[in-house]
A and B are shown apart, each in its own frame.
Chain A
Amino acid sequence: MKKLPKQLISLKVNGYEYEVAVRPNRTLLEVLREDLRLTGTKEGCDDGSCGTCTVLLEGVPLRACLCLAVAVQGKEVTTIEGLAEGDQLHPIQRAFVDHGAIQCGYCSPGMILTAKALLDTTPAPTEQDIKLAISGNFCRCTGYNKIVRAIKIASQNAAGGK
Chain B
Amino acid sequence: MENLLYVGKSVPRKDGPLKATGRAQYTVDLSLPGMLVGKVLRSPYPHARILSIDTSKANKLPGVKAVVTAADSLQIKHGFVETPRYPADQYPLAVDTVRHVGEDVAGVAAIDEDTAEEALSLIKVEYEPLPAVFDPEEAMKPEAPEIHPNHPKANEPYRNIGGKTETGWGDLEKAFNESYLIREDKYTCQMRAHGYLEPQATVAHFDYSGKLNVWTSSMGVFIKRAKLAKTLGLPYGQVRVLKTYVGGAFGGKIDLFHHEYISALLSMKCHLPVKIVYSREEVFKAARHGQPLIVQIKTGVAKDGAILGQEIRTINDSGAYHGSGVVVIFLAWGFAMAPYRVPNMKYEGYSIYTNNLVRAPQRGHGAPKMRFAAESQFDMIAEELGIDPIEFRLRNARKPGELLPNGDSVKNFGLIECITRVDHRTDFKNKYTAAIRERTTDSKIKRGIGIGTTAYFGGSLIYPNSSSVIVKLNDDASVSLMTGAQDIGQGCETVLCQIAAEELGVPVDEVQVYAADTETTPVDIGSWISGLTYVTGNATKKAAAQAMKKLLVVAAEELKAEVKDLATHHKEIFVNHSPDRRISYAQAIAASIAKNRGDSVIGEGHFRTMKDEPTHPSLATAKGRWTENYSSYATVAEVEVDTETGLVKILKATTAHDCGFPLNPTLVEGQIDGQVSMGQGHMLTEELRVEKGCVINPSFLEYKMPCALDMVETDYIDVITEKYQKDHHYHTKEVGEGYVSGTVAAVANAVYNATGVRLKRTPFSPNRVLDGLEQIQQKERNHDGKNA
Interface set of A (CB-CB < 8 Å, partner B): 1, 3, 33, 37-47, 49-50, 52, 79-81, 83-84, 89, 93, 96-100, 102-109, 112, 130-132, 134-148
Contacts and interface: CB of A to CB of B under 8 A. Distances in A.
Interface in B686-704: 699-701
A103 B699 contact: no
Interface in B222-272: 245-250
Interface string B700-714: 110001111101111
Interface in B11-28: 12-13, 15-26, 28
B709 A145 contact: no
Contacts of A107: 197
Given A97-B17, A102-B13, A146-B670, A140 B490 contact: no
A140 B674 contact: yes
Given A80-B22, A105-B15, A3 B114 contact: yes
Given A50-B197, A141-B670, A135 B708 contact: yes
Interface of B: 10, 12-13, 15-26, 28-29, 31, 114, 117-118, 194-199, 245-250, 279-281, 488-491, 666-667, 669-670, 673-678, 699-701, 705-709, 711-714
Given A37-B31, A45-B699, A97-B12, A140 B196 contact: yes
B29 A142 contact: no
Given A93-B21, A135-B709, A49 B281 contact: no
A49 B708 contact: no
Contacts of A137: 707-708
11 contacts: A46-B281, A47-B280, A81-B21, A103-B490, A103-B674, A104-B246, A135-B708, A137-B707, A138-B195, A140-B674, A146-B669
B112 to A, nearest CB: 10
Contacts, number: 181
Contact of B707 (A37, A100, A135): A135
A126 to B, nearest CB: 13
A42 B280 CA distance: 13
B700 A142 contact: no
A15 B638 CA distance: 49
Most buried by B among A81, A96, A138, A141: A141
Given A42-B198, A107-B197, A144-B707, 8 more contacts: A50-B700, A93-B21, A105-B20, A106-B248, A137-B708, A138-B700, A143-B673, A145-B711
B28 A104 contact: no
A108 to B, nearest CB: 5
The 5 A-B pairs of least Cβ separation, nearest first, read: A40-B22, A104-B489, A105-B19, A106-B247, A143-B677
Contacts of B31: 37
Contacts of A148: 708, 711
B668 to A, nearest CB: 10
A73 B63 CA distance: 31
Nearest to A37: B31
A139 to B, nearest CB: 8
B248 A104 contact: yes
Contacts of A81: 21-23
A102 B14 CA distance: 11
Contacts of A93: 17, 20-21
Contact of B20 (A96, A106, A130): A96
Most buried by A among B281, B490, B699: B699
A105 B670 contact: no
Where chain B touches its partner, the secondary structure class is: loop
Nearest to A104: B489
A133 B355 CA distance: 42
A143 B676 contact: yes
A84 to B, nearest CB: 5
Contacts of B491: 103
A33 B246 CA distance: 18
Contacts of A103: 489-491, 670, 674
A56 to B, nearest CB: 13
Contacts of A99: 666
Nearest to A98: B12
Nearest to A136: B707
Nearest to B699: A47
Given A42-B28, A108-B19, A145 B489 contact: no
Contacts of A112: 20
A47 B284 CA distance: 13
Contact of A1 (B13, B114, B280, B670): B114
Given A104-B198, A105-B245, A106-B26, A138 B670 contact: no
A50 B16 CA distance: 21
Given A50-B700, A96-B16, A141 B709 contact: no
A145 B19 contact: no
A52 B15 CA distance: 18
Contacts of A97: 12-13, 16-17, 20
B16 A102 contact: yes
Nearest to B709: A135
A80 B21 contact: yes
Given A81-B21, A89-B17, A144-B711, A100 B197 contact: no
A52 B197 contact: yes
Contact of A41 (B22, B198, B280): B22
Contacts of B488: 104
Most buried by B among A40, A83, A89, A99: A40
A16 to B, nearest CB: 15
Nearest to B281: A46
A22 to B, nearest CB: 13
Contacts of A106: 26, 196-198, 247-248
